[in-house]
Amino acid sequence: MFDSDVMGLSAADKIRTIRSETKLSKSGLAQLLGTSLVSLSHWEEGATDPSPAQTDQINQLYASLSTTLQPKLFFTDNSAFASRGIRSKAALPLFDVVAPVAKLSEKPFQPILSRLKQGRYFSTLDRTVESLLMAHQHPARITSIPPIAGMSAGKNTYTYDAHTYHTKVPPQGIAELLTHYLPEGGLVFDPFAGSGMTGVAASISGQDCILNELSPAACFIANRFTSALNPGVFDAGVKAVLDELKELRERLYSTSCRECGRDTEILYSVWSYRVVCNQCSHEFLLWDHCRSYGKRVREHKILTEFPCPNCQANLKKSRLRRTSAEPVMLGYKCCRGGQQEMMYPLNQSDLVKIEELNQHPPLAENCYPTTSLPDGVNLRQPINHHLDSIDKFYTPRNLAAMSHLWQCIQRIESTELAAFLGFVFTSLYQRVTRLSEFRFWGGSGNSANFNVPYIFNEANVFLTFARKAKSIRDHLATTATQYRGQVSVVNGSATSLDYLPDESVDLIFTDPPFGGNINYSEMNILWESWLGEFTQTDSETIINKHQGKGIEEYQQLMTQSLKECHRVLRQDSWLLLVFMNSSRAVWEALRAAIADADFSICKVDSFDKQHGTFKQFVSDNAVGFDLILHCRKSAPNGNSDDQKDAESAKHSIEAFLVKREGAWPKRSYLHVGRDEEVDYQKLYSEWLADSFVSVREFVDFSQFKAVADNWLSGRLQTKA
């Protein structure tokens, strides 16, 4: 029954049948397929389509319904990218029963980057750039036709979760593209490598890869993501560091249980700024007057507007002047409710301890950064709130913990183990700083900007380190065990690839900076201050007024980078470029750079990363779907300005909507209190893809949305 129907039913029909037959919930099936709940919901509703690889998974699972196969085992045993929720917690212990012992020296070794790098190269003897080039002197077999559909890949895998970076393309989606274009392997190159997901995908797929990246911090992250380590050795290193710092941990993060009086560990402390009413100048502690409690924790809120406790004027939190920050609550687990986490006001002993730590923090000498913040797009806000150097990003207590943790990691004798422990350390990023906004339901987001919240969460550094070590351990025990290709990381600019000969790589996959969306060098200053090396911003391909770079400079740098890509790429090979922006000017600059570099755009697809950011869910102007531009190095180049369609933007948008009219993509707000609505972000991505092929003039997302919304409203009124 099921076998004969595989090709005749839609993906939505198959998903509904699978859930009906297996009694799986939406979240259960999403975990089984390694996707997100949002994407699974969209597929079941027919609003969007799964990628080819995910379609194959759905087909196989649908066909297996008529067999005795257990669906859960069928997928988990064969997936290189294990997803959260598939493996049981018991299957991934933090510490093995029998594990090696990590050795600590009396004094720190050289800084981690110095131990890993030879000049600009993060390489081992078996994966230098020279060895990879020698292994690929002859061109690989290239598929000449792009895949028939776009990509859809989730972020809910152990690998994606292992470490924070501002943007990451899910590697399983990249792997689909690499195996399509290089079915027998080859040499892959990424000139804007970021966190190294192209290298992860290539290594899993059996291809070798060279990763080029301007930021030293990103190079370090990419090097660790594409390296492997025995999980038992990793466990031993984590244990050695935490054992070494046990007494300091107790000194910094202990309180007395309010119920039984025993000492217990502080999980986190909540700090609130004092603020001044802009109507009556009354100063008050914000925490005391801006909270709202619902029936569930998820309904608890920090209010954005509330009355002044003195004059009753309606105040907007974002407009209040701050004075000083005070600790107001702390959380711990002890005797009540069987280890249930509880939150209490600080007692006198807690306040005395904090005051002592503020006056005399037990810092590890010369083991913490004091880097001053330069002017920058994302740096002005913390500077305005007196966080003008990296050490001030931390409370004295957390800076003490971080300094000793960093010093202890430098004392690990094994360079590989020390580097992986440094990988855990850098994964803490904003989570343990004053930039971590307090949430009643826990957790901490790492946004691509530096924002000092009015109420912040002071996380226990050691608990956060152990939790992130667990995430990285999961990656080492799953994806990293299946690496087959070799990866070399180079710290350099995409504008000058002088270490690569002409026509030496088989395929380029890259995710370059999206104009001025993220200011990478500014956001990486936190990592790079600890690592001790900084991005050389002269050749950073970005729009940033503090660097004196506008749209023209961005286009010039992108053109120079793509010309280098054209030079090192073999004839008739592919450049796959992932990109998204809401600005017409940025899209025009990108198209011009591609044309000037003499690439032909053969196809444009959407890349659905499945999980949107919070901003993408609630902002009317945020764009959520990336595009994949399939560009080929071949002559003659068909891109030409005289091909531009002279039709007006309004007419081209309406013509596109008429052509694709049918089931409109919908956006479901599973975690935000909004009704389902037309997904203009998805429509904009589709229109951009169509405009690239038709060589139409681009428009900003806001203009597209206004035209499309007006047209769709008119259609609905006509039908009514």
pLDDT band at residue 77, thresholds of 50, 70 and 90?
Answer: very low
Is 692 inside any structural domain?
A: no
Say whether 534 sits in a helix, a strand or coil: coil
Give the CA distances from residue 546 to residues 218, 378, 387, 549, in Å, rounded to whole numbers and listed in that order. Answer: 21, 10, 19, 8
What's the whole-number mean pLDDT along residues 430-456? 85
Question: What is the rounded distance in angstroms from the CA atom of residue 479 to the CA atom of residue 82?
Answer: 7
CA dihedral 585, 590, 592, 598 (to 10 degrees): 180
Residues 210 and 237 in one domain: no
Q: Would you say residue 7 has pLDDT above 60? A: no
Give the CA distances from residue 332 to residues 147, 172, 265, 354, 433, in Å, rounded to whole numbers and listed in that order. Answer: 52, 38, 6, 16, 19
- Give the range among 333-347, 447-461, 477-491, 525-539 with minimum mean pLDDT: 333-347
Q: Would you say residue 642 has pLDDT above 60? A: no
DSSP track, 481-506:
GG--S-EEEEES-TT--TTS-TT-EE
Residue 668: what pLDDT?
59
Bridge partner list, 213: 491
Identify the residue with better confidence: 660 or 301: 301
Please state, for a pLDDT cut of 70, what percent of the chain lies above it.
84
Residue 332: what pLDDT?
92
Supply the range of the domain harboring residue 198: 120-153+169-214+487-522+541-639
Are 503 and 138 in contact by the 8 Å Cβ rule? The answer is no
Bridge-based pairing state of the strands 254-256 and 263-276:
antiparallel
Two tokens at 430? 């904003």
Question: What is the rounded distance in angstroms from the CA atom of residue 645 to the CA atom of residue 696?
Answer: 5
Cα distance between the two ends of the chain: 41
pLDDT band at residue 10, thresholds of 50, 70 and 90?
Answer: confident
Residue 199: what pLDDT?
97
Q: Would you say residue 90 has pLDDT above 60? A: no
Burial of 720: CB neighbours in 10 Å, binned 0-12, 13-18, 19+:
exposed
What's the whole-number mean pLDDT along residues 611-634? 62
Residues 44 and 25 in one domain: yes
Residue 339: what pLDDT?
54
Q: What is the CATH number of the domain that holds 71?
A: 1.10.260.40
Is 93 inside any structural domain?
A: no
Burial of 222: CB neighbours in 10 Å, binned 0-12, 13-18, 19+:
buried
Residues 369 and 502 in one domain: no
Residue 83: what pLDDT?
63
In this structure, which amino acid lies at residue 388?
A: D
Is 631 inside any structural domain?
A: yes
Report the number of distinct structural domains present in the chain. 3
- Give the range among 266-280, 285-299, 397-411, 424-438 with minimum mean pLDDT: 285-299
Residue 453: what pLDDT?
95
Is 628 inside any structural domain?
A: yes
Residue 484: what pLDDT?
94
Q: Would you say residue 673 has pLDDT above 60? A: no
Phi and psi angles of residue 373, each rounded to the nearest 5 degrees, phi first:
-80, 125
Two tokens at 36? 């997100």
- Give the range among 435-439, 461-465, 500-504 with minimum mean pLDDT: 435-439
Residues 200 and 298 in one domain: no
Distance of CA 6 to the CA centre of its chain: 35
pLDDT digits (tens, 9 = 90+) for 280-321: 999 999 999 999 988 887 788 899 999 999 999 999 999 999
pLDDT band at residue 386, thresholds of 50, 70 and 90?
Answer: very high
- Give the range among 18-32, 67-81, 164-178, 184-198 with minimum mean pLDDT: 67-81
Among 597, 619, 639, the domain boundary falls at: 639
In sequence order, the 6+-apart residues with CB closer than 8 A to the CB of 450 are 378, 379, 381, 382, 430, 435, 522, 523, 526
Distance of CA 173 to the CA centre of its chain: 14
Long-range contacts of 359-365 (CB under 8 A, 24+ apart): 361/396, 361/397, 361/399, 361/400, 362/248, 362/251, 362/252, 362/400, 362/404, 363/399, 363/400, 363/403, 364/400, 364/403, 364/404, 364/406, 364/407
Residue 425: what pLDDT?
98
Bridge partner list, 271: 327, 456
Among 619, 639, 659, the domain boundary falls at: 639
Residue 641: what pLDDT?
43
Residues 377 and 403 in one domain: yes
Question: What is the rounded distance in angstroms from the CA atom of residue 489 to the CA atom of residue 2?
Answer: 47
Is 716 inside any structural domain?
A: no
Buried b or exposed e, range 310-331, using 16+ CB within 10 angstroms: eeeeebebeebebeebbbbbbb
What's the whole-number mean pLDDT along residues 582-599? 93
Is 183 inside any structural domain?
A: yes
Residue 419: what pLDDT?
97
Two tokens at 672? 């935000």
DSSP track, 199-264:
HHHHHHHT-EEEEEES-HHHHHHHHHHT----HHHHHHHHHHHHHHTHHHHHHHSEEE-TTT--EE
In this structure, which amino acid lies at residue 175?
A: A
In sequence order, the 6+-apart residues with CB closer than 8 A to the CB of 160 are 154, 168, 170, 171
pLDDT digits (tens, 9 = 90+) for 44-76: 877 677 777 778 778 888 887 766 544 443 443
Q: Would you say residue 201 has pLDDT above 80? A: yes
Cis peptide bond prior to 100, omega within 30° of 0: no
pLDDT band at residue 620, thresholds of 50, 70 and 90?
Answer: very low
Residues 345 and 431 in one domain: yes
Residue 443: what pLDDT?
66
Is 199 inside any structural domain?
A: yes
Question: What is the rounded distance in angstroms from the CA atom of residue 682 to the CA atom of residue 248?
Answer: 51
Question: What is the rounded distance in angstroms from the CA atom of residue 241 to the CA atom of residue 404?
Answer: 10
In sequence order, the 6+-apart residues with CB closer than 8 A to the CB of 349 are 255, 256
Please state, for a pLDDT cut of 90, what percent of the chain lies above it.
59
Question: What is the rounded distance in angstroms from the CA atom of residue 684 to the CA atom of residue 565?
Answer: 28
Q: Would you say residue 1 has pLDDT above 60? A: no
Helix, strand, coil distribution of the chain in percent, nearest 5 = 45, 15, 40
Instruction: Provide the sign of the torsion angle of the four alpha carbons 279, 280, 283, 284, taken in this order.
Output: negative
Question: What is the rounded distance in angstroms from the CA atom of residue 16 to the CA atom of residue 45?
Answer: 9
In this structure, which amino acid lies at residue 184?
A: E
Residues 462 and 502 in one domain: no
Instruction: Provide the sign of the torsion angle of the four alpha carbons 587, 589, 591, 594, taken in this order.
Output: negative
pLDDT digits (tens, 9 = 90+) for 220-267: 999 999 999 999 999 999 999 999 999 999 999 999 998 888 999 999
Residues 470 and 511 in one domain: no
Are 200 and 162 in contact by the 8 Å Cβ rule? The answer is no
Residues 394 and 271 in one domain: yes
Say whether 9 sits in a helix, a strand or coil: coil
Look over the chain and give the mean of its residue pLDDT values, rounded to a whole number. Answer: 85
Is 396 inside any structural domain?
A: yes
Residues 386 and 510 in one domain: no
Task: Please tell me which of 20-34, 83-97, 669-683 the model is most confident about, judged by mean pLDDT.
Answer: 20-34
Q: How many beta carbons lie within 10 A of that of residue 209, not counting itself?
A: 30
pLDDT band at residue 564, thresholds of 50, 70 and 90?
Answer: very high
If phi > 0 it is left, if psi is from -120 to 50 it is alpha, else beta; for residue 339 that is left
Phi and psi angles of residue 152, each rounded to the nearest 5 degrees, phi first:
-145, 115
Residues 505 and 631 in one domain: yes
Among 617, 639, 661, the domain boundary falls at: 639
Residues 458 and 429 in one domain: yes
Are 212 and 497 in contact by the 8 Å Cβ rule? The answer is yes
Question: What is the rounded distance in angstroms from the CA atom of residue 178 to the CA atom of residue 203?
Answer: 10
Identify the residue with better confidence: 359 or 13: 359
